Amino acid sequence: MSQYRRSYVPGGTVFLTLVTYYRTPLFSEPENISRLRTAVAKTRTEKPFEITAGVILPNHIHFLWTLPSDDLDYSQRVSRLKVLFTRLLRGKKSLPQNVSASRRKHRESNVWQRRFWEHTIRDEIDLARHLDYIHYNPVKHGLVSCPHLWEYSSFHRWVKKGGYQADWACSCCGKKPQVPDFAEMVFGE
């Protein structure tokens, strides 16, 4: 069995990607986005963290979470978020019959992929690259032509804070967009 090693830094900021089971577009339905927001809010009351940035796409979510200075356990928060959302979606005791024996043994539903992807933010440049990645993701996936057109993103909050111009990577403002280079943003290549 593979050994997964995650980086845990007290008070750290972590980039997370959570994907739905078989990339089912659960978040194409507004009521599921509402359920997700409820699950996130409940998770935050139980184990506080700051949502630095985020985007909800039809079949996956990207977050930047910043943990309290004395805490490093984002895995527990992700797990709790997944459980709460699944309960809101399926009901408290509902485990579908059409999932594999392994998933049933681990009490996993057909809502989320088993694991999640994480990256601990190293510095301000790394943070900026991941913010850009999150905010450009709806455009990258062909869901909208410009970041400001995607409703389920922290982009609008960052524009209000002065972190982005409203026309960042925009193709509808009449000028050629400055499209971010994702390899450079994420991997520093």
Strand order across the 13-19 sheet? 50-56, 60-66, 13-19, 117-120
Rounded Cα–Cα distance for residues 148 and 103 (Å): 38
Residue of 74, 133, 136, 152 with catalytic role: 152
Of 131, 114, 139, 122, give the one whose Cα is nearest residue 62.
131
- Asked whether residue 189 carries a pLDDT value surpassing 70, the answer given is no
The pTM is what?
A: 0.84
- 60-110, pLDDT tens digit by residue? 999 999 999 999 999 999 999 999 999 999 875 554 556 566 655 555 678
Q: Is 105 helix (H, G, I), strand (E, B) or coil?
A: helix
Sign of the dihedral through C-alpha 49, 51, 56, 61:
negative
Contact status, residue 22 vs residue 112, Cβ threshold 8 Å? no
H/E element, 145: none
In whole angstroms, give the CA distance from residue 170 to residue 149. Answer: 9
Annotation marks residue 152 as catalytic: yes
